Amino acid sequence: MRYFIWLAGFSALVFGCKTKTDTAAVQSRYPDWARNAVIYEVNVRQHTMEGTFVALEKDLPRLKELGVDILWLMPVNPVGEKNRKGKLGSYYSVKNYKEVNPEFGTPAEFRTFIQSAQKQGFHVIIDWVANHSAWDNPWVTEHPEWYKTDSTGKMLSPFDWTDVVALNYENKELRAGMIDAMKYWVDSFNVDGFRCDVAGMVPQDFWEEARTALEKDKKMFMLAENEDVPGLCTKAFDMNYGWGMHHLMHKVAKGEMPADTILKAQVKIDTTFPKDAIKMNFITNHDENSWNGTINEKFGDGWQAYAALIYTLPGMPLLYSGQEAGLNKRLKFFEKDTIDWSDKTHFGFYQSLNKAVHENEALWSPPYGGKFSIVKNNAKALSFTRTTNDQTILVIVNPDAGSAALGFEDKALEGSYVDLITAKEFKLGKGSQVNLDAYGFLILKKK
């Protein structure tokens, strides 16, 4: 819940301000349609009872109403059977790079799904597993030299991923074969881009080569599952994971770190991360949900406050299948485990946040969105602005289980505001105090 009491007047002291930028003059390598997008991760197997493209297509109108834009489908390739984990196996054990998983449907049904999604205004990217393949992928027998081996010639699995075998990017023929496989999905299905699994374990120069080859006919949107190799976002990728921010938010939620470390971390991102690249912000995804805990387990009653942060800090917000239905179970990874869609209470909340991103340039993804500046207050609550030449959005979040009384001491942000979530209007003047209940927040647009 986000209860608050507004007392007469308001003022704020902004420090670390950055010069406003004319966003019309900013350029980025990624497609224009991504600048104010929300990305939605689709777990095809668990999203519907049927777990098929046909069933997923029927849910597109609801997803459109929710207000998401980019549909990232977890791997759509067939899953390996040799050394398979569980009954259905891991999506990330690819048996064939140019085939559709029959568990989900036929190539024709997948093509129809993409066409329907694009017709309704979505863009579709697919998960791509370039670091390793299934043991029964035909490449294992046809091109054994494409795989990593030990001193005895035995093929190697990365980490404890015993259901897959690692690919060797020192082999130029492998690189050509992998790019050819990626082009197949662009040419045959018209996908709009790729989310690339463990991208940092594949050489950066391969990804740069792949992107050049893929973009001969249209711009791609490229997402790297990586955070510790910033160079991946200089040429090859448009967006990477905000893992660090996610884990930091979790620590703050548990009381293990002070709240202001979240804003300090954002300042560091702004000063070290490529200016035309995007951080994907999230409070859950398929890995976090299945292996590390649900949103409820990690954020408890504060989930709305932390959701507000991922939508208002610089970057692109991610929603995962079922998040808008309050998904409160760890989905099984190797078995069928359908999402329960009965809870409708979260839908409107995320819908309003999506609308705020779409309609307010200051909340768009870098480099188009507003500059981030910390606003100083006398409480533990977080406050910051996102500003463009024409727009100021003030965000105040109480990430704590106790109430917060915020006092400010400068006139910098005095004026009239509207709350982007409740549409309530406020007059902020000198000498006011803001009281936020536990996990309360405000997203205020200056009029």
Q: Are 209 and 140 in contact (CB under 8 A)?
A: no
Buried b (16+ CB within 10 A) or exposed e, 267-286: eebbeebbebbbbbbbbbbb
Amino acid in position 276: D
pLDDT of 429: 82
Point out which residues pair with 436 in neighbouring strands.
4, 404
Neighbours of 15 (CB within 10 A): 10
pLDDT of 49: 98
The contacts of residue 319 (CB under 8 Å, 6+ apart) are 38, 39, 40, 41, 66, 68, 350
Point out which residues pair with 372 in neighbouring strands.
386
Point out which residues pair with 14 in neighbouring strands.
375
pLDDT of 26: 57
Coil/strand/helix, residue 232? helix
Q: How is residue 188 written in tokens? A: 């045959």
Neighbours of 76 (CB within 10 A): 25
Q: How is residue 304 written in tokens? A: 């709305």
The contacts of residue 334 (CB under 8 Å, 6+ apart) are 84, 85, 86, 87, 88, 89, 90
Q: How far apart are CA 238 and CA 215, in angstroms?
A: 13
Q: How is residue 349 written in tokens? A: 């909340």
Q: How is residue 287 written in tokens? A: 């890995």
pLDDT of 10: 36
The contacts of residue 108 (CB under 8 Å, 6+ apart) are none
Q: Are 37 and 5 in contact (CB under 8 A)?
A: no
Q: Are 274 and 233 in contact (CB under 8 A)?
A: yes
Q: How far apart are CA 61 and CA 17, in angstroms?
A: 41
Q: Are 53 and 132 in contact (CB under 8 A)?
A: no
Amino acid in position 439: Y
Length of the chain equals 447
pLDDT digit string (tens) for the chain, length 447 residues: 333 333 333 333 333 333 334 444 556 789 999 999 999 999 999 999 999 999 999 999 999 999 999 999 999 999 999 999 999 999 999 999 999 999 999 999 999 999 999 999 999 999 999 999 999 999 999 999 999 999 999 999 999 999 999 999 999 999 999 999 999 999 999 999 999 999 999 999 999 999 999 999 899 999 999 999 989 999 999 999 999 999 999 999 999 999 999 999 999 999 999 999 999 999 999 999 999 999 999 999 999 999 999 999 999 999 999 999 999 999 999 999 999 999 999 999 999 999 999 999 999 999 999 999 999 888 889 999 999 999 999 999 999 999 988 876 667 788 899 999 999 998 888 777 788 999 999 999 999
**Nearest by Cα to 46 from 341, 331, 318, 296:** 331
Q: How far apart are CA 77 and CA 102, in angstroms?
A: 8
pLDDT of 21: 41
- The alpha carbon of residue 274 and the mean position of all alpha carbons in its chain are separated, in whole angstroms, by 17
Angle of helix 243-253 versus helix 261-272 axis, rounded to 10:
170
CA angle 192, 161, 291 (to 5 degrees): 75
DSSP class of residue 319 equals E
Domains and CATH numbers, the chain: 29-369 (3.20.20.80), 374-446 (2.60.40.1180)
